[in-house]
Structure 1
């Protein structure tokens, strides 16, 4: 399974090596720096020593951070994660859903006529719920457990909005 995350941040100076961005993203996501690829304008940014200007990055550029995870396992072994890293994982997942799916969901709810879009959004929201389900928080980590519970509730509410809009549309068409 591939997980795509979208994060907004200010770019450093153009002569900054790509490694500095990779390290910042690794620190933010709590993923090892070698566990993800950075893609800009359809090209994988491989040379960590190259300055970011070599990749044509500028303010408001989009960089895709793509990392591979096994859906049957938590994002990292639970014994090696701290509560803070668990919370960061939950926040990253929720941020990705809010930025990549919520705008499409709002559009769909206003005009729920595209069955393929209904299926696509439903599948992506369910995948997010499965990823959140794979996050394991120790019983003593009350903050992490509450964050996970709140994140699951928020994504489930989005899924309910999607299904309610489709059901209302189906009832209108049938009447």
Structure 2
């Protein structure tokens, strides 16, 4: 049986967000153990022209929920980008996962051929499958990897196994 658009989107995004949540838990424990200022870690970035940790979490959230909305043809919730604590970032991840899990597999019928038009960046129109596989998933993982790298740069004891998550 071939993989469905649902199978290569919702469970993949949920797993990635759960990994991100676990990374943030380790970051929070690190901050508490070392007396670090939570806000300093949340506002940390790898380079001046890159988003901080909070922005990476927000973009991973936005990418996953907007991808599902676009390919399933449903409405996505809007979240303000105002998180300033680990608890708020965890809440955002939880709300994103709840939304993703609320979209049923039947809503993805025919989505591989649905035309996806992005209203930013001057991108061409995509077929649903092309959008998911060549734009959305790489973008999602970029933000997860960047969050991981920011935390590593801040001294959090995480590595590749933490990025890959549990099996």
What TM-score do the two structures reach when normalised by structure 1?
Answer: 0.29
TM-score (norm 2): 0.31
Structure of higher CA gyration radius: 1
| Structure with the higher fraction of residues in helix conformation | 2
* Larger RCO (CA under 8 A, 6+ residues apart): 2
Please identify which structure carries the higher strand content: 1
